[in-house]
Every structure is written in C-alpha cells, then in structure tokens.
Chain A
C-alpha cells in the first residue's frame, strides 16, 4: 500500500505544480513507483510541466466516470519509468468531483504505487477539499511572504477539520516546503525568516527551495528542474525527495547564501 500525499498551498502561484512535478520525478529517481495526479480540474497544468502535454488521451474525470480504465489513462514519463501521470480534465470544472469516486480512484492508485501525489488546485473550494479528503499526508508549499503564510494557515485549518483521517480520529502528517527563498532578501529582513514561518504554521519543515531563474525555463520546456544537476532549486528538490523516501539528509542553510557579492569576493582570496 502506498502513501497518498496532497500538495496544497491555499494561495495560487507559489509553486505547487512545479513542486509536485519535481518531487514526483525525485521520488521516481530514488527507485520508488510514483504517480502524480493533477486535481486542478479545469486548469490542467501538470502535463505541460512534465512535458507530457501531447500524450494525454484520457483524464481523471473520465476514469472516475468509468469512461476509461486507469490503465488507459495513466501516462508513463519519458524520463523515468517509475513516474506515472494522471491528467486533469481541461474542459470540465471542479464541481464534477464526488467524494465516493475520488475515494475509489485513490484506493486503486494506492495499490499499484508507492507514492500517490495529488496536485491540489489553489484556493480552498471543493476541488481542494476533495484533494485533501483521502490524503495520508500533506505538503504545504509557501513563499516567504505574509499572504502566502496566511492562506497556508487557512488551508491547514481546513485540512485539520475536513480530512477523512482526522474524522477517524487519526492525524494527517503535515509538512511545509518554503519555496522561492532569496537569501539576500531574508538577510535584509525583506523576506520572512524560516523560523518565523515555522512558528506561525507550527508544522514540520520538509525543505527549503531557493529562488532559481532556471525553474521557469525548465517548466516551459517540460523538463522539471530536478533534471538539471547544476540548478540550486533542482538540488533542493532532490534533497526533499530523498527525505520523503526515508533518507536522512541534513537541512541545507540556503538563507545565509554563498552567492552574495561579498562572499564571492572573499572566495577569490582563499
């Protein structure tokens, strides 16, 4: 039986889909069978970021409505055989989801895969609620800014009240990834510090991802940034994927950066 992880954020545009794609690939690189599912019905994005746009034939909604089998709808990644993808419908909207159908689909995926990663839509509407309903764990993606933190806080609150596991009296594991950290801005006090974010959200830190210009280009080309060994964001996602697969990897301090001008100058003299 695999583990179901919902990737949530509350606020849009903080990097949920990018994180889902990279973590899925990172887990696959660790030799685990992984499926990433796009739950953002009506605004399908994950297929583009994974570079699988032209392979989508059947989508999630068609599987749930039994117009297609899971086997037909699952798309195998070109870059890693362990990674599979299930697309969202682009034409329907979030209201088509039904709890019992979602539950059935997730139960099926759990049997075949070690990791089932669900990419939640932004916001806290029904689409979001269906994503978290049957998840064993949630990864909250935040940016180091107040609006993202408050929305994430809200999303965690809903998770804690609406998740099936909580209703059964169990606890949903919650982790946070702080995305798009700019070390210089944190040092100047223009960005929230990780400690402050963790104090507000009060959940475990899974990893920190630095801002990296390469991410946009990687997404546009459909090659997740984790494939780029030189990318700092890619390296961060690799570390996080390793942690998810049970490896002990120390938290890297990306906030006291080595890339500052002063450090670079100092480096010349060493």
Chain B
C-alpha cells in the first residue's frame, strides 16, 4: 500500500443566509479555491450547484478530527509532564506493594548481570540493576527487576515485574512471553488461576523533546 499524508486547509461554516454566503465566496474566491469547505447544518440544492459551478471541494455534515493550536499542544505537553510525575509515584507505590509480597527466601542484588552470567535463585529476587544481553536469570520464586532486561529470564514464581528490551527472552512458567507485551516502562506478569496475565504498570515513555 502506498499512501501520502497532506495537511490541507479546511473552512468550516454553516449557512444562514444563502445570498450572503454566495457573495462572500464570490469576493474571496481566490482565498477559498484551495480550501476544503465543510458545511455543517443544512445544505440546499442552490448552494450545492453554486459550489460545483465554482468547482470548490466541499463536504457536508462531517465530524472533523480535532485540530489543535500550538498553545493547546503546549498545554497538553505540560499535562503529560505532570502525568509522568504521577506515573513515577504509581511505579514507586506498585514496587513497594509488590516487594511486600517478595518474602520467600528473598535475595536482593544491586549488580549488573553481565553477558554469560547464569544466575539461579532459589526463592524470590529483587534486582536493582540491568541484565545484559547473553545473561540468564532463573528464579523459582517471584522476580522484580527495576532496570532494563536485555538477557534471558526464567521465572517460576507467582509474579514477575520487569521492563524488557526487544532483544530479551522472557519465559514465565515455561511459557514464552512475547516481547511486544512487555514494551511498557514496567510490566507485571502474573499467574492467576493458571492464566498468565500481563498488566502494564507504567506506559511507555514518550519522548516529546525530540
């Protein structure tokens, strides 16, 4: 499929006085000839014929996608920033909530798991650093990793929470979890009544600056 995207100018109006409308368009024809005219409300045959004669492009009674001014965009961006502060708080509360559930034989590590390292943990693991490509972590219990995972994970606990790069290979109870489900900033994977449930805890960060 080949497609192109354009930005065009749209003139949206409704007609109360047909004569006045036609005079207005006659006078300002050069302005309007490249516009898309959108007429909301009633559209009589007279006006239809008029627009066609002038070969103006028009639509009748359509809902236009919302256009935004620069100011509105900036405001939205500000809200987004507030949102990210909030989401930071959500993440922290989620982490503390879940880490309360990490209790059977808990290991806490703050070291990079480098390529080639095979970490086998009996019980739960809280890892505060990254897992590089080529490393493998296996836990019999629950697992939380706060930094990016690029290596392989085998978790046999009730839940795991992590952020996976597209390179990562994640398995939960022997089931491969597709990376596309784990693209969010932080994801919770749980086993509930033998069903694997994946919940994004934090949405993917959007880089507005670039």
Q: Hey, which bits of chain A sit against chain B, CB under 8 A? A: 146, 150-151, 153-154, 156-158, 160, 199-200, 202
* B104 part of interface (Cβ distance < 8 Å): no
CA distance A93 to B157 in the complex (A): 47
Q: Which residues of B contact A154 (CB under 8 A)?
A: 114-116, 134
Distance of A193 from chain B, by nearest CB (Å): 13
A150 touches B112 (CB 8 A): no
Residues in chain A near residue B136, CB distance under 8 A: none
Asked if B132 CB lies within 8 Å of chain A CBs, one says yes
Scoring A153, A154, A160, A200 by chain B CB atoms within 10 A of each residue's CB, the highest score goes to A153
Taking CB atoms, residues of chain A closer than 8 Å to B150 are 200
Having A150-B115, A157-B116, A160-B114, one finds 16 other A-B pairs with CB under 8 Å, namely A146-B133, A150-B133, A150-B134, A153-B115, A153-B132, A153-B133, A153-B134, A154-B114, A154-B116, A154-B134, A158-B116, A199-B130, A200-B130, A200-B132, A200-B150, A202-B112
CB-defined A-B contacts under 8 Å, sample of 11: A150-B132, A151-B115, A153-B133, A154-B115, A156-B114, A157-B115, A160-B114, A199-B130, A200-B130, A202-B112, A202-B130
Within 8 Å CB of B132, what residues of A?
A: 150, 153, 200
B185 at the A interface (CB under 8 A): no
Looking at A146, A151, A157, the one whose CB has the most chain B CB atoms below 10 A away is: A157
- The chain A residue sitting closest to B167, CB to CB, is A146
Q: Please, how many residues of chain B have a CB less than 8 angstroms from a CB on the other chain?
A: 10
- Chain B residues near A199 (CB-CB < 8 A): 130
- Which residues of chain A have C-beta atoms less than 8 A from B133's C-beta? 146, 150, 153, 200
Cα A158 to Cα B130 in complex, Å, equals 17
For B35, the chain A residues whose CB sits under 8 A away are none
Closest to B150 in A: A200
Most buried by A among B115, B116, B130, B132: B115
Instruction: Mark interface residues in B114-152 (1 if CB within 8 Å of A CB, else 0).
Output: 111100000000000010111000000000000000100
- Taking the closest CB of chain A, its distance from the CB of B100, in whole angstroms, is 29
Give min CB distance, A174 to chain B, whole Å: 11
Q: How far is the CA of A151 from the CA of B114 in the complex (A)?
A: 10
**Which residue from chain B places its CB closest to the CB of A157 in the assembled complex?**
B114
Which residue of B is nearest A158, CB measured?
Answer: B116
- Measured between C-beta atoms, what is the minimum distance from B32 to chain A in Å? 41
Measured between beta carbons, the chain A residues less than 8 angstroms from B116 are: 153-154, 157-158
Give bound CA distance, A202 to B133, whole Å.
14
Distance of A153 Cα from B134 Cα, bound (Å): 9
For B130, the chain A residues whose CB sits under 8 A away are 199-200, 202
A156 to B134, CA, bound (A): 13
**A158 surroundings in chain B (CB, below 8 A):** 116
| 9 closest cross-chain pairs (CB), A and B | A157-B114, A153-B115, A154-B116, A154-B115, A153-B114, A150-B115, A153-B132, A150-B134, A150-B133
**Nearest Cβ in chain B — how far from A111, in angstroms?**
34
| CA of A160 to CA of B115, assembled, Å | 12
Q: How far is it, in angstroms, between the C-alpha of A149 and the C-alpha of B139 when the chains are bound? A: 26
**CA–CA, A194 to B196, complex, Å?**
38
Compute how far the CA of A151 lies from the CA of B112 in the bound complex, rounded to whole angstroms: 15
State A157–B114 Cα separation when bound (angstroms): 6
Q: How far is the CB of B130 from chain A (nearest CB, A)?
A: 8
A156: chain B residues within 8 A (beta carbon): 114
With A and B bound together, what is the CA distance between A150 and B130 in angstroms? 14
- Shortest A238–chain B CB gap in Å is 31
In the assembled complex, which residues on chain A have CB atoms less than 8 Å from the CB atom of B115?
150-151, 153-154, 157
On chain B, the residues within 8 Å of A153 by CB distance are: 114-116, 132-134
B-side contacts of A157, CB under 8 Å: 114-117
Q: Which residue of A lies closest to B148 (CB)?
A: A199
